[in-house]
């Protein structure tokens, strides 16, 4: 069957955006599956690895644009897999810091390489300069409705 394109949909940035997003997420998930991860968990792991003293679950939710209740489950799964730990910070006993284990850092590295490689399938046609422009535009979309 020939898949044609309907003009009003091909012009709709919202449609194109969610379709492209799904494409990339699917490719990334396929790559991360080898490490027992999904994109959500991987994002949390990256966040934990990238901050010096760990990151509170509240901050994870804010940065990723998720509901705090989702972060609980994601951290549960990562902790069950031995990739992160919940640590109590110095001052505030309400918050729990998400801190990567040694194994967590290792997996994050390996998974990151595979994910980056997998994303080349959908993004392969975009040059370096184009990716920079795309990054810039997507960032501004986010800031526009913060």
Partner DNA sequence: CCTCCATCGTTGACAACCTCCACGATACCG
Partner DNA sequence: CGGTATCGTGGAGGTTGTCAACGATGGAGG
Interacting residue ranges for a copy of itself, rule: CB under 8 A: 1, 3-11, 13-25, 27-28, 39, 43, 46-47, 50-51, 58-59, 62-65, 112, 115, 119, 121-126, 130-131, 133-135, 137-145
- CA-based nearest residue to 66, from 94, 36, 44: 44
Query: What is the 8-class DSSP label of residue 119?
Result: H
Nearer to a copy of itself (CB atom), residue 36 or residue 58: 58
Site for DNA in 80-139 (CB under 7 A): 86, 91-96
**How many positions of this chain bind DNA (CB under 7 A)?**
26
How far is the C-alpha of 100 from the C-alpha of 102, rounded, in Å? 7
Cα radius of gyration (the chain): 18
| Structure tokens, 126 | 């975009």
Q: Cα angle at 79 between 77 and 80, to 5 degrees? A: 65
From the CB of residue 92, how many other CB atoms can be counted at a distance below 10 Å? 10
Query: Shortest approach of DNA to residue 119 CB, angstroms?
Result: 15
Residue 36 touching DNA (CB under 7 A): no
From the CB of residue 117, how many other CB atoms can be counted at a distance below 10 Å? 11
List 17, 22, 117, 133, residue binding DNA (CB under 7 A): 22
Q: Which does 103 bind (CB under 5 to 8 A by kind): a copy of itself, DNA, none?
A: none
Residue 75 touching DNA (CB under 7 A): yes
Q: Checking phi first, is residue 54 left (phi over 0); if not, alpha (psi -120 to 50) or beta?
A: left
Nearer to a copy of itself (CB atom), residue 4 or residue 102: 4
Q: Which does 3 bind (CB under 5 to 8 A by kind): a copy of itself, DNA, none?
A: a copy of itself
């Amino acid at each position: 069957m020939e898949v044609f394109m309907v003009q009003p949909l091909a012009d709709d940035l919202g449609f194109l955006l969610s379709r492209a997003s799904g494409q990339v997420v699917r490719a990334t998930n396929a790559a991360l599956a080898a490490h027992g991860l999904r994109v959500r968990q991987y994002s949390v792991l990256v966040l934990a690895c990238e901050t010096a003293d760990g990151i509170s679950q509240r901050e994870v939710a804010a940065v990723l644009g998720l509901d705090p209740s989702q972060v609980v489950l994601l951290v549960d799964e990562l902790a069950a897999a031995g990739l992160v730990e919940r640590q109590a910070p110095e001052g505030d006993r309400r918050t729990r810091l998400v801190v990567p284990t040694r194994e967590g850092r290792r997996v994050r590295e390996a998974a990151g390489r595979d994910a980056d490689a997998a994303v080349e399938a959908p993004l392969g046609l975009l040059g370096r300069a184009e990716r920079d422009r795309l990054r810039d535009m997507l960032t501004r979309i986010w800031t526009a409705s913060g």
